Amino acid sequence: MGEYQKIEHTFEPVFDKNSRILILGSLPSVKSREQGFYYGHPQNRFWKVLAGIYDCDTPVCIEDKKKMLLYNNIAIWDVIQSCDIVGSSDSSIKNVAPTNLSLIFAQCNIKGIYANGKTAARLYRKFSQKITGLEIIELPSTSPANAAFNLERLIEEWVKIKCN
């Protein structure tokens, strides 16, 4: 295992007044932090899953990713504002300071909250659920580390986000 680093989340959330669905990750991976945007690891299937659900092309550039999210009334952010972590390993996360989700809730009428993986769901329940008053629905992680789910199986699970 590598060394712990103190990571501060630096991306803005993506949302607008029409956002109804909030998808929460844990913290951007090393690759995402390098690119400066969510789900930037080339093997992460997040963008392919959304494209499969909404029957559109997989966006490549950040602007197209934002357009896809907003067109489909989706907001994205992460549950961690800062923490100590080794690389991109969710299992190494400690000393969590949660994100202040009230920024989104003050400006949108969020109808459903979904976690991209177990860690995001667990941390949301621990730090944010009592504040928002909304349950989170845990979805399987789109991370390449989740080898148990192929793309088709992820899409089958993630299609739940269209119910809101």
Structure tokens that stand for 16 in this block: 């607008």
Q: Rounded to whole angstroms, what are the CA distances from 26 to 87, 93, 99?
A: 13, 9, 10
Q: Which residues of 136-149 are buried (b: 16+ CB within 10 A; e: fewer)?
A: bebbbbbbebbeeb
The SS3 of residue 75 is strand
Active-site option among 44, 95, 109, 164: 44
**Annotated catalytic residue 44:** yes
Residue that is written with structure tokens 């109804």 in the block = 20
Residue matched to tokens 């951007």: 28
- Residue entry with tokens 């459903």: 112
18: CB partners within 8 A, 6+ apart: 70, 73, 108
Q: So which residues are the catalytic ones?
A: 44
